[in-house]
Structure 1
Amino acid sequence: MRNAILSRAPHMIRDRKYHLKTYRQCCVGTELVDWLVQQSTCVHTRSHAVGMWQVLLEEGVLSHVDQELGFQDKYLFYRFLDDEEHTPLPSEEEKRESEEELPETILFLAQMGPDALLRMILHKPPGQRTGDDLEIIYDELLHIKALSHLSNTVKRELASVLIFESHAKAGTVLFNQGEEGTSWYIIQKGSVNVVIYGKGVVCTLHEGDDVGKLALVTDSPRAASIVLREDNCHFLRVDKEDFNRILRDVEANTVCLKEHEQAVLVLEKSPRASSLGNIRYTVLSGTPEKILYHFLETMRMDTHHSDPGFLFLKFSMLHIGDSYVIVVCYIFNPVCTYHAVAPPGSEQERLEYAVTCKRRVLNLVLRWAAVHTYHLQEEPAALLFLEVHTHTEQHTHTRTHLRSCLSLCVSVCRSCMGVCPTPLPDQEGPSAGSMSSFELMSSKDLAYQMTLYDWELFSCIHEHELLYHTFGRQSFRRTTANLDLFLRRFNQVQLWVVTEVCLCGQLSKRVQLLKKFIKIAAHCREFKNLNSFFAIIMGMSNPAVSRLTQTWEDPSRNHRAYRLTVTKIEPPIIPFMPLLLKGKPKLGHIQ
């Protein structure tokens, strides 16, 4: 980096005077950030650039003139290690090499930057953290497994009190069995062993797990000892006082409705009050019946779509609107919905109650229809509810015809399988690679054409297909054909990379081919095509390829860096679909 700066902007490294004192061969923090942002599109924001310089600061390549531990985007002086040791200026050959290596160096620092930035922020005392700092910590907490059951309000509270703690050596004891519980720990990096006297190691906890909560909740001694299993483990620590305060706030702001000792509806008090001045509650979890009943009870009679409550209801129905049978049956419930029985009272009061219930249900149905219009035309239960009458004979004839056609297709497929039990020559796959024609094509043009095709497939996916895939398409009787095709495309690109590399017999050509794929992956990232980008990377990480090169790092270690990167990229993008679907089952389990 120093040589690249001396090659492109040598004026940045020079003697500086400040308060009658001269600092030799220094750079200014703001100038370093400006320069790095201008060098590559993979540097998304100034805070991202700060994290990248923080990596060099932690490694000792860069240092603050007053030995401060955090890099800041301010008029502060920093010095490269080579300048402290009075290393001579680089030669023209060294400058040329630094120019060639600069893109790879920036890409590496871009991957390491978010972690370094987070560590720097967590080293700050809680009272010195800015709003942007708290937002970065909060974004990190969203992806920690141990906090997945907590609400966003609680996570924001935790973001303001978390303290960073690290231990360098394996075998270090975090706390001993029988000690008083003073802190709660979340494992950010590394792993630990849980040791109980007389039993030894009972389990191992890894990144994302938490330890020490039981002693704080029950106010009892530690039930086990925690011993570091590997070097350089990082923890996020919450002290007992903050832990108890946040828990009390959670209990005060959470309402739990139980039936037969089972929680059927959990509400959290929202910081925003309703337009009528009442307390507004957000649904955290519950059974579909209770969630719907809560909406019916709290729905305003106003039907204007400008009502913020309508937007919240519309968003919620995107998640529960496909449970047609449950919704329709619940609306037909004679106790509390459309045909609700009025409580004792005068005739006028009973009439007003009945009209109010019917109007409330009709209001919900109208809004439901606005969100799921095409589903109302397909779902039998919804059609029955809306009293759409058709000729039963015609439907019976159609079902019989479809059943006969389906049986015919199945029989034809089975007969074909019997006639051709072995693969045809065309199904065996290629016997020679396409290196000769492949190397003549532009890497950027290939990446562009791949992006166009991937975008066409991705645009056809309906958001409901993600829900069908997560919760089981058999539960909805719906197809996920577009999503399946897009996932198949990922596998095709990945296996295409493996096939081309393995079919390339000459070592020199194989090296050129790997460089070609790396360039294509880099261009895919520039085009925001993260799906093909990861497909190529994982193809080169396939055992059949890594056995040849032994140079590829497991891309799964960059999943959190991927999520942080996605939040900083302006849409539209083509996401890494396998990772997106990987997080869906956990979310579904929580809901």
Structure 2
Amino acid sequence: RPSERSGEDVDIILTRLRGVKTFQRFPPPLLLQICTCAFYECLEKGITLFRQGDIGTSWYAVLSGSLDVKVSETANHQDAVTICTLGIGTAFGESILDNTPRHATIVSRETSELLRIEQREFKTLWEKYRQSLAGLLAPPYGAMESGSNNDRLTDKDNMNVIDLSLSPCYQVLQVPSEKLQRAAKVLRNAILSRAPHMIRDRKYHLKTYRQCCVGTELVDWLVMQSACVLTRSHAVGMWQALLEEGVLNHEHVKKHVFVLYIFYNLTYFTRKIESTKINQGKVENQEISKRSQRLLYHSQYFSNVVVLQDQPGQRTADDLEIIYDELLHIKALSHLSNTVKRELASVVIFESHAKAGTVLFNQGEEGTSWYIIQKGSVNVVIYGKGVVCTLHEGDDFGKLALVTDSPRAASIVLREDNCHFLRVDKEDFNRILRDVEANTVRLKEHEQAVLVLEKSHRASTLGSIKISCRYTVISGTPEKILEHFLETMRLDIHHNEPDPAVDDFVLMHCVFMPNSQLCPLLMAQYYHVVSPPGSEQERLEYTLNNKRRALILTLRWANTHTYLLQEEPAAISFLEELYGSVSNDSRTLRGLKDLVPDLEKVVKLHSEEVKSAKKKTLIRQFSNGEERLQKKQPIRNQDDILLKVYCSDHTYTTIRIPVAATGKEVISAVSDKLGTTEELLLVHLSSAGEKQLLKPNDVSVFSTLSINGRLFACPREQLSGLAPLPDQEGPSAGSMSTFELMSSKDLAYQMTMFDWELFSCVHEHELLYHTFGRHSFRRTTANLDLFLRRFNQVQLWVVTEVCLCTQLSKRVQLLKKFIKIAAHCREFKNLNSFFAIIMGMSNPAVSRLSQTWEKLPTKFKKFYAEFENMMDPSRNHRSYRLTVTKLEPPIIPFMPLLLKDMTFTHEGNKTCIDNMVNFEKMRIIANTIRQVRHCRSQPFNPDICQPNKNQAEVRGYVRKLCVIDNQRALTQLSYRLEPRRT
């Protein structure tokens, strides 16, 4: 409760709020007061928060999830129509300021986290911070961000005051941003000093254009000048960013899109930015690179704007791929199939409006379009009720009109200047749905659908073979999905060559068809004896192809599962039986001979591994130094672990259990070791004293412990008295004296080597077990858990070292050291440690050390700012994703984001639809797993860094990092270093 919160609690809450874009604009005093008076609420799906007509008692802001806004014209709540959805960062409930009834009913659309402030506290905040809060609230309390004087629009007459313009032509900003003005200034000076010939008078159609550049020359010049600009499309986006901001101008066209073959007037360009002197015609490369990075960051958005502003009929295949990739990351479209998204990419229209107060459409009008907010915000207005809510970036509205013929339930008014939308017209959307239905094939048995296929007309290529049309599995029963892939599998490509459709099944089948079900079906397919009518040669060819398909799928399956098959004796027996049958059949069917050596290799490999696996590997929970220095090997289900389990008096017992043991099995082993019949609870106790009761069906509990967490077993009555062990507190002194003499590059290299070992041990299926739940498979995710644990460890290492360093000058040196290490990690394509270090530096215990950051040289501040830009979560982490696409393997990816993508897909899509497997969902998750496969498609080269004489010392240090994982303790240390300013 607010009255019980300490200063450290407030800091933790503050960190969470700063992660929400809406709160980032609030001044620190306002944020601190919100942290001290707000309540946290978590709503399950389908919970009604309040109803239309209720008298409000609280104001709310959405921290995660989404909520539907429902409005009824009658008193009957069953007649309510959903007019919009509130997303993250949206605030509502401001009617408590004047005690008016609620204008709408709010229902949670999914599990959602809310921040709630009671009426009395909110009124106090409003009186003190009216100007700051006005930007978040809807009118009449909030102000239009352009300073528009529009009052609350409550009747149709007011609504019709503003004419609606649907022109897609973009309007430039009145005041360009300061950072882009600086970037423009640097580029202008660079052109004048290095390529003045680009700016000259040009003639076109008997008219002279003074002091102009050609778009193609600007693009070519920028690609040549800056190493960070890798492609021409990036350069186009960078110039487009300047065009959008109004610091660059077309000479002879009005359409505001950067076009390659027209003139740009740099006289206007010069007039829009402050004139500066050119230092003897020289511009520093470093300054150009820095400003190019800033422009490149903005260009990632504006490149898409350029593509979207093309007329749908003029879009190229590359344009459609860019738009499709953008649509994949829009939550409002997550319920649509990939086929529908691809079709939408060809018809979606970019629409922008320059002025707040512009009305997109009026209540009661015929619905003709569906909108998704790309940038900016809008108010939802209902006659007689005024503004009922505000929608922000990522929200959508108007969809109801696409599927019904009902009139608009509300009016939509721009809340701020310069809003961007994606628009889908009703005619296009309905046509797409009709086309999809026409191209959908449903196979039924006993009047029940068992397989749903969708015809894909997109040309695709497998090896050197072009496929003009194929069917894509949308859903089906497990048996029918397998049957379809066996029937349609290509026989003219090698089983080691990629076949995405079949690979999707091989990767994902464990979710809906375990090996115990798959192996008999594959064997039945191999022995399939029913042949179609025809000549003996045709029947023989049919039999051969049947067997080859079963064998090819089996080989793909075995190569994907690798060592996991050794944990299933039935799977090994299946391989051995199949190998025996193929060896015999190959004597009469010569078409099988080429597959026999591959199958023999697989069978021998797994048979030998099974024999050696009987000697179980013993893993120690807290390994000694020598074991940590050894190269990591994958942890397998059948391995054993020596596990320490503590009692309430801090004594412990050591048990030996399988890695995949459940919580129930751990408790049973502890009870046997202690000789007690008393019912015990298994508890994960963190260093902060937080207790987590582990469930009986939890698998591989040791790998889920926090870095300094410990396992306790105790009777229920002793649960409240559990206290952390002294060694859980972590180090009391930093290790800077040890690693400050080590080269930053050597540290980054050894960290990358260790991370690569951990990453290489992670099996692809562990990502599935993590997403769908380990208990569903009874499989361990220990390798993945250890890799994720390493990320947390590196992040906390940064915070621990800074907070344990008492000298200001040394702390500054530490920040410089960590920035250098991060830079080398990025150079080695180790994005996991790179992000861990940067996130450690942005931890509130470090970021609040203002005296330390003030002393950091400007050069390092710039590097850190650049690194932070890569972490920008906006537009679904687009900055990071674009960075990864430019890298060649081997890459160590930012694994938490990949897991987030998979979890988002899993939770946002049902696994089964109408008693059939939703294979669209399987395909999306498989694509994410293939990203991991791509990152490891090339071996890591250990020779990228020359070994030094203290290489062993550096290697030992990075593998034995000691950290404090108690955020409260770290915050306390931070306040001792630099007390809170009064």
Please, what TM-score do these two structures have when normalized by structure 2?
Answer: 0.50
Matches of 2:795 and 2:638, distance apart in 1: 42
Matches of 1:500 and 1:40, distance apart in 2: 36
Query: Which amino acid in 1 is paired with 2:258?
Result: F
Matches of 1:226 and 1:87, distance apart in 2: 39
Q: Is the 8 A contact 1:314 1:368 kept in 2?
A: no
Q: Is the 8 A contact 2:214 2:263 kept in 1?
A: yes
- The aligned residue for residue 872 of structure 2 is 555
User: Per-residue deviation at 1:236?
Assistant: 0.3
Kindly provide the CA deviation profile for residues 6-57 of structure 1, in whole angstroms up to 9, marking residues without a partner as x. 4687132354132277655554433433343344443231111211222122
Kindly provide the CA deviation profile for residues 170-190 of structure 1, in whole angstroms up to 9, marking residues without a partner as x. 565433332111112122234
1:58-457 equivalences under 5 Å are 58-66=244-252, 69-74=256-261, 76-79=263-266, 83-84=270-271, 90-92=277-279, 101-168=287-354, 172-192=358-378, 194=380, 205-228=391-414, 232-257=418-443, 265-271=451-457, 280-298=470-488, 305-306=493-494, 311-312=499-500, 314-323=502-511, 326=514, 328-329=516-517, 359=547, 362-363=550-551, 364-365=553-554, 368-369=557-558, 371-372=560-561, 374-383=563-572, 405-406=656-657, 410=670, 427-433=728-734, 442-457=743-758
Q: Is the 8 A contact 2:353 2:420 kept in 1?
A: yes
Query: Which amino acid in 1 is paired with 2:843?
Result: N
**Do residues 465 (structure 1) and 465 (structure 2) align?**
no
SS state of the match for residue 243, structure 2? helix
SS state of the match for residue 292, structure 2? helix
Matches of 2:822 and 2:514, distance apart in 1: 46
In structure 2, relative to structure 1, the CA distance for the partners of 1:292 and 1:432 (3 Å cut) is same
User: Per-residue deviation at 1:144?
Assistant: 1.7
Matches of 1:279 and 1:18, distance apart in 2: 50
User: Per-residue deviation at 1:80?
Assistant: 6.8
User: Per-residue deviation at 1:498?
Assistant: 2.4
Q: Is the 8 A contact 2:192 2:281 kept in 1?
A: no
In structure 2, relative to structure 1, the CA distance for the partners of 1:28 and 1:90 (3 Å cut) is farther
Matches of 1:514 and 1:94, distance apart in 2: 36
User: Per-residue deviation at 1:527?
Assistant: 3.2
SS state of the match for residue 249, structure 2? strand
Matches of 2:447 and 2:363, distance apart in 1: 34
**Do residues 495 (structure 1) and 796 (structure 2) align?**
yes
Query: Which amino acid in 2 is paired with 1:291?
Result: I
Query: Which amino acid in 2 is paired with 1:165?
Result: E
SS state of the match for residue 223, structure 1? coil
Matches of 2:469 and 2:831, distance apart in 1: 42
In structure 2, relative to structure 1, the CA distance for the partners of 1:499 and 1:250 (3 Å cut) is same
Query: Which amino acid in 1 is paired with 2:315?
Result: R
Q: Is the 8 A contact 2:567 2:638 kept in 1?
A: no
User: Per-residue deviation at 1:385?
Assistant: 5.2
- The aligned residue for residue 16 of structure 1 is 200
Query: Which amino acid in 1 is paired with 2:838?
Result: I
1:494-513 equivalences under 5 Å are 494-505=795-806, 510-511=811-812, 513=814
In structure 2, relative to structure 1, the CA distance for the partners of 1:170 and 1:431 (3 Å cut) is farther
Matches of 1:88 and 1:401, distance apart in 2: 70
Give the stretch that moved more between structures: 20-29 or 163-172: 20-29
In structure 2, relative to structure 1, the CA distance for the partners of 1:510 and 1:264 (3 Å cut) is farther
SS state of the match for residue 452, structure 2? strand
In structure 2, relative to structure 1, the CA distance for the partners of 1:236 and 1:382 (3 Å cut) is same
Kindly provide the CA deviation profile for residues 456-507 of structure 1, in whole angstroms up to 9, marking residues without a partner as x. 3323322222222212222223222222222112112222222333344555
SS state of the match for residue 315, structure 1? helix
Matches of 1:228 and 1:177, distance apart in 2: 14
Query: Which amino acid in 2 is paired with 1:79?
Result: L
Query: Which amino acid in 2 is paired with 1:70?
Result: V
- The aligned residue for residue 528 of structure 1 is 829
SS state of the match for residue 849, structure 2? helix
Matches of 1:152 and 1:441, distance apart in 2: 50
In structure 2, relative to structure 1, the CA distance for the partners of 1:270 and 1:503 (3 Å cut) is same
SS state of the match for residue 229, structure 2? coil
Matches of 1:12 and 1:153, distance apart in 2: 47
SS state of the match for residue 155, structure 1? helix
Matches of 1:386 and 1:42, distance apart in 2: 51
Query: Which amino acid in 2 is paired with 1:175?
Result: F
In structure 2, relative to structure 1, the CA distance for the partners of 1:299 and 1:114 (3 Å cut) is closer
**Do residues 476 (structure 1) and 777 (structure 2) align?**
yes
Matches of 1:227 and 1:380, distance apart in 2: 65
- The aligned residue for residue 30 of structure 1 is 216
- The aligned residue for residue 571 of structure 1 is 889
Matches of 2:478 and 2:495, distance apart in 1: 23
SS state of the match for residue 474, structure 2? strand
Matches of 1:194 and 1:73, distance apart in 2: 40
SS state of the match for residue 243, structure 1? helix
Q: Is the 8 A contact 1:143 1:560 kept in 2?
A: no
In structure 2, relative to structure 1, the CA distance for the partners of 1:459 and 1:382 (3 Å cut) is closer
User: Per-residue deviation at 1:112?
Assistant: 1.4
Kindly provide the CA deviation profile for residues 146-166 of structure 1, in whole angstroms up to 9, marking residues without a partner as x. 223434443333222221122
Q: Is the 8 A contact 2:371 2:396 kept in 1?
A: yes
Matches of 2:341 and 2:512, distance apart in 1: 33
In structure 2, relative to structure 1, the CA distance for the partners of 1:570 and 1:9 (3 Å cut) is farther
Matches of 2:480 and 2:403, distance apart in 1: 30
Q: Is the 8 A contact 1:176 1:222 kept in 2?
A: yes
SS state of the match for residue 510, structure 2? coil
Q: Is the 8 A contact 1:3 1:90 kept in 2?
A: no
Matches of 1:369 and 1:86, distance apart in 2: 63
Aligned length: 580
SS state of the match for residue 277, structure 2? coil
- The aligned residue for residue 583 of structure 1 is 901
Q: Is the 8 A contact 1:44 1:569 kept in 2?
A: no
User: Per-residue deviation at 1:268?
Assistant: 0.9
Matches of 2:372 and 2:798, distance apart in 1: 39
